[in-house]
Amino acid sequence: MKQSPKPPKQYPKPPEGTWTEHYPELGTAPVSYESSISPEFYQLEREAIFKRAWLNVGRVEQLRRKGSFFTKNLAVASTSLIVVRGADDKVRAFHNVCRHRGNKLVWTDHPAEEISGSCRQFACKYHGWKYDLDGRCSYILQEDEFFGIDKADYGLVPVHCEVWQGFIFVNFAKQPKQTLTEFLGPMITAIDYPFEKLTERYYYRGDIRSNWKVFLDAFQEFYHPPILHGHQNPVMRQSEYQQQGFYTMHFQIDGPHRVGSTSGGAGGFLVPEFYNPIERLMRSGLFGPWDPSEIVTDKLAPGLNPGNKKHWGLDSFQIFPNFAIVFWETGWYLTYHYWPTAHNRLIFEANAYFAPPKNVRERLAQQLGIATIKEYALQDCGTLEATQMGLESRVVSTFPLGDQELMCRHLNKMVNDWVDDYQRSRERSRAEV
C-alpha cells in the first residue's frame, strides 16, 4: 500500500517577503467588514459596482441558434434581462420591459421565474405589442389610435452587451468607462481555453443568508479547507494538514481581478488507495474526474498556471465583482456567480462544464465530482450564515487577514475603492450643478 501524501516541506513563497507585501497598496492591517453588514453600503455597492462593472450573465452555448433567448433576473440592478441571439447572429441584451405600459415582457408560468427558449419575436401578454429579436417594436395593436406614434421610438431598452471567449457580459452604465476587454485586463484576456468543447453542463444554485462578499471570500482562500472540510476530504483529514495548513502555490493580482493557483492530483494528492471506495470505483471526487479529458494536451491552454508552477492543479480566477472561473488540470472548469439580493442575502450559482461523456463511466465520474463539490459548498453555506451572524453582532469591528487570505483582502479593498470613486464622482457632479 502506498504512503499517504505528505504536505510539501518547502511551502511556496514569493521570491522575497510575503504574497501580500508584494502588493503594498493592500497593506497588512486588520480590515473592517462593515461593508458586509450595512444596508446603506449595499445600496452604494449597487450603484458603484453592479451598475458600472461588466457582469457575466451566461455563455453563448445557451443561445444555440438565431432566436434563442434566456431571461436573467438581477435583483441587484432591480431588473430582468432578455439575452437573445438575433437573426444576424449577434448576441444582445435588453431590459425585459414592454414599452407600452411596463409589463414584464418575457416569462411563462410565473413572472418571477427565469426562462429560456427560442422564438422569432417577443409578444407582450398584456395588449399584444411585438418586438423583433433586435429589440425593434414591430407591431402595435390599433396603432392608428395612438396619436401618430412612431414604432421606431418604442424599441426595447438595450443594455451594453459584449462577449469574451463565449462568456456574455452586460454593463448597466449609460456609457461604460471601459470596453469589456479593457475591463478584463491582460491577466484574464490572456486566457485562451477551448470553452466551446466543454458543453456538458451541470448547474445548481442556492439562496443563502449571508453577504455576497462574506460568501465569496470562502471560495477565494484555501486556508479553511483542512479545518472546515477536514472530515470529508481524505487528504485534508490528515493531522499534518490540520496542524500545518494548506498553502496556495501562487497569487496574482491584475486591476480588480485576482487568481490563486494550487496543486491538485498531480501534486501528490491522488493516491487512489487513500480515497473512499466510491471515489476509487468512479475514479472521481473533489478534483473532478481523475482521468484527463481529451482537451488536455502537453501544452497547457494560454493564460493558465500564470505562476508557471511545476505541480499545478487548478487556477481560481476571480473576475471582479462577482464571477469566478476555476480551471482543473484534468480538463474541466467551474464557474461561480454571487448575486446579492440584499445586504445579507445572495443567490449563489455554480456551473460545471465537461467534455460530453463518451460512456456511462465518464458520466458517473462527472456526476460524482459535482456531487462532491456540492457537498463542500453546503458545508460552506452553513458556516457563512454563521459568519454573517457573528459580523452583524458588531462585537468586533476589524479582523486580521493572513497571507493566505490575500484575495479576500484585495476584494475588500476593490469594493471600498469603487464605492469611494463613485461617491467622489457624485460629489463632483453635484458641485458642477
Q: Which is nearer to ligand FES, 137 or 236 (CB)?
A: 137
Give the range of 72-80, 93-101, 254-262, 316-324 binding ligand FES by CB under 6 A. 93-101
Q: Indicate whether 136 belongs to the interface with ligand FES (CB under 6 A).
A: no
CA atoms within 13 A on the CB side of 120: 1
Q: Indicate whether 309 belongs to the interface with ligand FES (CB under 6 A).
A: no
**Distance (Å) of CA 218 to CA 19, 142, 251, 390:** 18, 56, 16, 15
Give the range of 121-129, 220-228, 231-239, 423-431 binding ligand FES by CB under 6 A. 121-129
Q: Which residue is nearest to Fe ion (CB)?
A: 380
Q: Indicate whether 11 belongs to the interface with ligand FES (CB under 6 A).
A: no
Burial class (CB in 10 A: 0-12, 13-18, 19+), 428: exposed
159 vs 171: CA distance, rounded Å? 6
Residues that bind Fe ion (CB under 5 A): 380
Instruction: Give me the least distance between CB of 109 and ligand FES, in Å please.
Output: 18
Q: Indicate whether 122 belongs to the interface with ligand FES (CB under 6 A).
A: no
Instruction: Give me the least distance between CB of 119 and ligand FES, in Å please.
Output: 16
Q: Indicate whether 146 belongs to the interface with ligand FES (CB under 6 A).
A: no
Strand partners, 260: 251, 316
* Contact partner, 424, from ligand FES, Fe ion, none, Cβ < 5-8 Å per class: none
Q: What is the 3-state secondary structure (H, E, C) of 380-398?
A: HHHHHHHHHHHHHCCCCCE
Residues 251, 318 contacting (CB under 8 angstroms): no
Instruction: Give me the least distance between CB of 146 and ligand FES, in Å please.
Output: 11
Q: Which is nearer to ligand FES, 11 or 146 (CB)?
A: 146
222 vs 219: CA distance, rounded Å? 8
Residues 55, 171 contacting (CB under 8 angstroms): yes
Query: Residue 53: which of 315, 350, 304, 414 has the closest Cα?
Result: 414
Label residues 400-414 b or e (16+ Cβ within 10 Å = b). Answer: ebebbbbbbbbbbbb
Q: Which is nearer to ligand FES, 139 or 422 (CB)?
A: 139
Q: Indicate whether 137 belongs to the interface with ligand FES (CB under 6 A).
A: no
Instruction: Give me the least distance between CB of 357 and ligand FES, in Å please.
Output: 44
Residue of 100, 151, 361, 374 that binds ligand FES (CB under 6 A) = 100
Q: Which is nearer to ligand FES, 103 or 341 (CB)?
A: 103
Q: Which is nearer to ligand FES, 4 or 103 (CB)?
A: 103
* Contact partner, 380, from ligand FES, Fe ion, none, Cβ < 5-8 Å per class: Fe ion
Instruction: Give me the least distance between CB of 401 and Fe ion, in Å please.
Output: 16
Give the range of 1-9, 94-102, 221-229, 352-360 binding ligand FES by CB under 6 A. 94-102
Q: Indicate whether 129 belongs to the interface with ligand FES (CB under 6 A).
A: yes
Q: Which is nearer to Fe ion, 220 or 412 (CB)?
A: 220
* Contact partner, 101, from ligand FES, Fe ion, none, Cβ < 5-8 Å per class: ligand FES
* Contact partner, 100, from Fe ion, ligand FES, none, Cβ < 5-8 Å per class: ligand FES
Instruction: Give me the least distance between CB of 372 and Fe ion, in Å please.
Output: 12
- Give CA angle at 299 (59, 258), nearest 5°: 50
Q: Which is nearer to Fe ion, 264 or 303 (CB)?
A: 264
Residue of 101, 120, 205, 424 that binds ligand FES (CB under 6 A) = 101
Residue of 63, 124, 235, 365 that binds ligand FES (CB under 6 A) = 124
Residue of 11, 126, 146, 203 that binds ligand FES (CB under 6 A) = 126
Query: Residue 403: which of 222, 264, 216 has the closest Cα?
Result: 222
Applying CB under 6 A, the residues found at the interface with ligand FES are: 98, 100-101, 103, 124, 126-129
